[in-house]
């Protein structure tokens, strides 16, 4: 890959990665459900924590300017299991983020039609998950076909939009929000919970790191672009949030915060403008996430952690269609759930864990490879990476202490997924044949149990009434499961077949 991009391109990559759909959705729950006006403080805190973590990214990207980002750093530091876990977490974060983007698209579409046609809006609201699924399918098909990247034009458009929003808000006049969390110190837990929930708003600048192989003088340009992106994003988010909470009072609103604020500032046009912007941002993020999850899966397949079939490339379009479709199935499944707050936390937790691993990788590499060429070194070492790890842990547990049910659900789901990740790694080490035999055994048992259940229903022992068609379907399921079980169990026994 040629290094053709300069500092300004790198900076644009960082900004375009950060300014996305998250601002159109994550501030809602943070304001109305978690921290109130102190949400503004949460954004400032999030920005500072992000800056701390980005110092580690800067040093590692300067020392190891290769494709792969976090996966490459953890592999260099720890290898094996940790790299696999890091890759899986990054993949999960992309998948959760993509699902959230799809739901944000339908939410913004619903808001748009609320202003234009309430009848259509009620249909959209009722069928939001199905619309999200349709959008995912379309974008997956486009990705398989090979779609064009939208480019930095979106960043410039959004920056202009936010500039108009801020200027109009100040002109309109706003009630200065009380950003101090009350009551103290109980209110602080809400601030930290909101910080954790809104943290995905800062994730995107690591897209810069993923594109390290394309940037000229990467060891200098990447750290500068990362730090400048972080410093530009913080005041932008802070000021947008400050104006938004200054014009929208706390209440039981069902509409997105930014849209409400824009409608208050620019009646008739503001809400619609932000709805269109939100839809564009969501589609862009969804398309990017589908591509990112596919490239992560392929990278791990290349290293032998996942099946080689994920490396398959479409004969006509030359795109990684298997990896794209496999990831999109998960995205569809999560979008169908429809819980925005759950997905917000899930996307956040996955990435926070990756951030912690990156900071730990920095500490490890300083110890094991002290003579690695580092064009940029994290300032105040070891304070910066240690603080990064501690703050990651604080962000993970603070929503739990706040008692947020969505956070607890997301964390429990995350732990379940981590268990599956570890199981997958173990199975990979055990070898295909043993796994296949085990699955064959499970399939046999499922087939026999289904056949037994069908028989018991037929003779009336089990009080369930099924139509004849359902009984035939159950019989078919049991026959297929038994056959599949026998085939899997005998897979490595060529003398039998």
Partner 1 sequence: MRITIKGVRKVFAAAVGVAQSTMGMLAVIAAYILHSDPFGLRAWLYVNTGFPIPLYVLVLIVFGFFSITSGLFLITENEESP
Q: How far is the CB of 83 from partner 1 (least distance, A)?
A: 24
Cβ contact 388:356 at 8 Å: yes
Q: How far is the CB of 59 from partner 1 (least distance, A)?
A: 40
How would you label 346-362 residue by residue, b for 16+ Cβ within 10 Å and e otherwise?
bbbbbbbbbbbbbbbbb
Cβ contact 350:413 at 8 Å: no
Of 330, 436, 455, 475, which one interacts with partner 1 (CB under 8 A)? 436
In the complex with partner 1, the residue whose CB is nearer, 129 or 177, is 129
The span from the CA of 35 to the CA of 183, in Å, is: 11
Of 405, 430, 456, 487, which one interacts with partner 1 (CB under 8 A)? 487
In the complex with partner 1, the residue whose CB is nearer, 246 or 485, is 485
Residue owning tokens 């068609």: 469
Give the interface segment with partner 1, choosing from 193-201, 210-218, 223-231, 302-310 (CB under 8 A): 302-310
* Residue 439 binds partner 1, judged by CB under 8 A: yes
* Residue 273 binds partner 1, judged by CB under 8 A: no
Residues in the chain: 497
In the complex with partner 1, the residue whose CB is nearer, 455 or 477, is 477
Give the 3-state secondary structure of residue 459.
coil
Give the 3-state secondary structure of residue 215.
strand
Kindly identify the residues of this chain, within the stretch 325-354, that bind partner 1 according to CB under 8 A.
333, 336-338
Q: How far is the CB of 315 from partner 1 (least distance, A)?
A: 16
Give the interface segment with partner 1, choosing from 106-114, 284-292, 303-311, 393-401 (CB under 8 A): 303-311
* Residue 481 binds partner 1, judged by CB under 8 A: yes
**Cα–Cα distance list, 48 to 211, 374, 389 (Å):** 24, 23, 14
Residue owning tokens 């947020």: 404
Report the DSSP beta bridge partners of residue 5.
Answer: 215
Kindly identify the residues of this chain, within the stretch 121-140, that bind partner 1 according to CB under 8 A.
127, 129-130
The span from the CA of 455 to the CA of 212, in Å, is: 61
Q: How many residues sit in the footprint of partner 1 (CB under 8 A)? A: 29
* 390 phi/psi in degrees, rounded to 5: -65, -45
Of 442, 448, 457, 462, which one interacts with partner 1 (CB under 8 A)? 442
Of 269, 309, 393, 456, which one interacts with partner 1 (CB under 8 A)? 309
Cβ contact 198:45 at 8 Å: no
List residues binding partner 1 (CB under 8 A).
127, 129-130, 307-309, 333, 336-338, 432, 435-436, 439-440, 442-443, 446, 477, 480-481, 483-485, 487-488, 491, 494, 497
């Amino acid at each position: 890959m040629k290094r053709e991009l300069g500092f300004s391109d790198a900076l644009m990559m960082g900004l375009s990665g950060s300014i996305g759909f998250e601002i159109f959705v994550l501030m809602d729950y943070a304001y109305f459900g978690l921290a109130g006006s102190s949400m503004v403080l949460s954004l400032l805190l999030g920005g500072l924590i992000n800056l701390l973590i980005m110092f580690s990214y800067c040093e590692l990207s300067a020392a190891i300017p290769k494709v792969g980002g976090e996966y490459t750093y953890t592999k260099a530091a720890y290898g094996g299991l940790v790299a696999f876990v890091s890759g899986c977490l990054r993949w999960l974060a992309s998948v959760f983020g993509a699902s959230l983007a799809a739901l944000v698209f339908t939410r913004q579409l619903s808001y748009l039609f609320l202003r234009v046609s309430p009848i259509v809006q009620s249909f959209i609201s009722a069928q939001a998950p199905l619309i999200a699924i349709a959008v995912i399918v379309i974008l997956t098909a486009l990705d398989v076909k090979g779609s064009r990247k939208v480019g930095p034009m979106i960043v410039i458009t959004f920056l202009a939009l936010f500039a108009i929003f801020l200027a109009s808000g100040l002109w309109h006049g706003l009630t200065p929000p009380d950003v101090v969390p009350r009551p103290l110190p109980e209110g602080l837990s809400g601030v930290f919970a909101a910080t954790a929930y809104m943290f995905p708003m800062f994730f995107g600048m690591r897209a810069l790191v993923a594109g390290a192989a394309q940037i000229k003088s990467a060891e200098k340009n990447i750290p500068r672009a990362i730090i400048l992106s972080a410093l530009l994003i913080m005041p932008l988010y802070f000021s947008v949030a400050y104006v938004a909470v200054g014009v929208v009072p706390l209440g039981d609103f069902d509409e997105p915060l930014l849209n409400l604020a824009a409608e208050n500032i620019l009646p008739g046009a503001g809400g619609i403008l932000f709805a269109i912007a939100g839809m564009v941002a969501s589609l862009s993020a969804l398309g990017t996430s589908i591509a990112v999850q596919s490239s992560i899966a392929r990278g791990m397949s290349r290293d032998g952690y996942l099946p080689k079939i994920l490396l398959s490339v479409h004969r006509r379009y030359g795109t990684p269609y298997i990896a794209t479709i496999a990831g999109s199935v998960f995205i569809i499944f999560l979008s169908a759930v429809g819980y925005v707050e759950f997905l917000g936390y899930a996307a956040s937790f996955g990435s926070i864990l990756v951030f912690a691993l990156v900071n730990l990788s920095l500490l490890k590499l300083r110890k094991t490879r002290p003579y690695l060429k580092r064009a940029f070194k994290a300032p105040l070492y070891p304070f910066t990476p240690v603080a990064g790890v501690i703050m990651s842990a604080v962000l993970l547990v603070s929503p739990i202490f706040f008692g947020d049910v969505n956070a607890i659900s997301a964390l429990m789901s995350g732990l379940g997924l981590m268990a599956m990740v570890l199981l997958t790694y173990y199975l990979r080490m055990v070898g295909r044949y043993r796994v296949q035999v085990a699955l064959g055994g499970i399939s046999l048992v499922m087939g026999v149990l289904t056949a037994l259940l069908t028989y018991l229903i037929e003779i009336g022992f089990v009080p369930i009434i099924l139509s004849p068609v359902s009984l035939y379907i159950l019989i078919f399921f049991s026959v297929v499961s038994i056959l599949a079980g026998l085939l899997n169990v005998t897979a490595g026994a060529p003398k039998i077949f």
